Amino acid sequence: MIRLSRNAYIALFLAVLLVLGAWSVRGLLDLRLPADASLHDGKMAKAVENHYEAEFPLKRLGTNLWAALDYSLFGEGRPGVVLGRQDWLFSDEEFNPLPRGEQQIEANLGLIRGIDRRLDEHGVKLLLVIVPAKARLYPEYLDEEQPAQQQLGLYRRLHAAAQHADILAPDLLASLLREKEKGLLFLRTDTHWTPHGAELVAQEVARAVQRKAPLSGARQQFTTEQAASKSYLGDLARFLPLDPLFSALLPAPDQFQPRSTHALDANPDDASAALFADVQVPVALVGTSYSANPEWNFSGALRQALGSDILDFAESGQGPLPPMLEYLQTDAFKDAPPQWVIWEFPERYLPMSPDLSQFDREWIAQLVSAGSTGPHQTVTADSVSPGRSQP
């Protein structure tokens, strides 16, 4: 009987090993080798090794199983996400205090003021689009974990600093809070706003520009079209590695209608002709993935709300500061500065240390120094050191 049990155990073990081995070999069918892969230089072996490791079923099983236990038993995901109520997910960047956060806030505020002064030297007006944290707009969906004290005052601090520096910054938090009952402004499973939220912000921006300094030139006409509703599992779901074995545990995908905006009087040849035409575009947009990702149609909504074309310099994955510094070094800014620069700036980036290693340190220090206020504020190398940056 003992021998029979032993044989059955061995047979079961070998069967499982055989199945997993076959499963692993089947994964090689999806392998796509680099064009220059060769047996002689090891590139082919490395490509097979990397693909096998990524597709190894035991690794996937372990990852999925551990994530499922964390999610089901403890209500936790991987670092990067905070689980809320009713399948709402939040970025942990809106919750956790950062080391040296206070020092970095002051350095970033000085850099923002310095950038404003550099724009002003070229006759350009700055409008700061302070994007409120998702957790600030929808605190009713937070669970036990709450934002740290450092995070609680970020929006008001940045907004007050902008006002003190005479930088135009409409109070988007107040505007969005008034509108949140009329439609979803942020996606449940994503860091970003919905196309509806982006459109509301664009309209607030246009009203602020109209009050402060209306755009010169004739108003253009734009139209926005809505596509069929689509399912969208957002970027925060990446921190719940439950797919494919436990994908049923994942929050339900968001549903939204993509939008696209185009000029009513656009000519098919306009885009190429504009490259060589002496045309002054009065608005430049700089920002993060809130502006750069076409899913949200923020730049399109801005065009329609402003009645003007815009030059889009927004970038994903850099935070708000590097794209602005890159823009200040472009020929587009130096040779033909716009009337307005609209700078989209999520509040959660205020205490973060951006990666400014690609820029000249002396130039950055000059900008920070130009924006410094108070006799004891100094510029140090630490103020411009590389750090964490995310979309």
State pLDDT tens for residues 332-366: 999 999 999 999 999 999 999 999 999 999 999 99
Question: What was the pLDDT predicted at 251?
Answer: 86
For 112-155, write each residue's pLDDT tens digit: 999 999 999 999 999 999 999 999 999 999 999 999 999 999 99
Strand partners, 213: none
pTM of the model: 0.79
Contacts of 73 (CB under 8 A, 6+ apart): none
The structure tokens listed for 61 are 């099983």
Q: How far is it, in rounded angstroms, from Cα 355 to Cα 315?
A: 14
Nearest to 132 by CA among 90, 183, 86, 99: 90
- Residue 31 predicted with pLDDT over 60: no
Distances from the Cα of 287 to the Cα of 125, 127, 152, 254, 385, angstroms: 16, 12, 23, 24, 21
Please answer whether residues 301 and 278 qualify as being in contact, where contact means their C-beta atoms are separated by less than 8 angstroms: no
Grouping H, G, I as helix, E, B as strand and the rest as coil, residue 73 is: helix
Query: What pLDDT, on the 0 to 100 scale, is given for residue 77?
Result: 59
318 pLDDT higher than 90:
yes
- The H or E element spanning position 116 is helix 101-121
| The pLDDT value given to residue 239 | 85
- The backbone torsions φ and ψ at residue 117, rounded to the nearest 5 degrees and listed phi first, read -70, -35
Q: What percent of the chain has pLDDT over 70?
A: 70
291 is a catalytic site residue: no
Q: Which of 190, 235, 309, 312 is catalytic?
A: 190
| Residue 122 known to be catalytic | no
How would residue 38 be classed by pLDDT, with cut points 50, 70 and 90? low
Selecting among 91, 235, 289, 308, the annotated active-site residue is 289
Provide the CB-side half-sphere exposure for 69 (13 A, CA). 5
Mean pLDDT (whole number) for 189-211: 98
Active site residue 190: yes
Tokens of 194: 């919905």
Catalytic residue among 91, 116, 159, 192: 192
Task: Give tens-digit pLDDT for 47-69.
Answer: 545 555 555 555 555 454 454 45
pLDDT: is 326 or 382 the higher one? 326
Q: Per-residue pLDDT averaged across 87-101, rounded?
A: 94
Residue the block writes with tokens 């310099």: 313
- Cα dihedral 17, 19, 22, 24, rounded to 10, equals -70
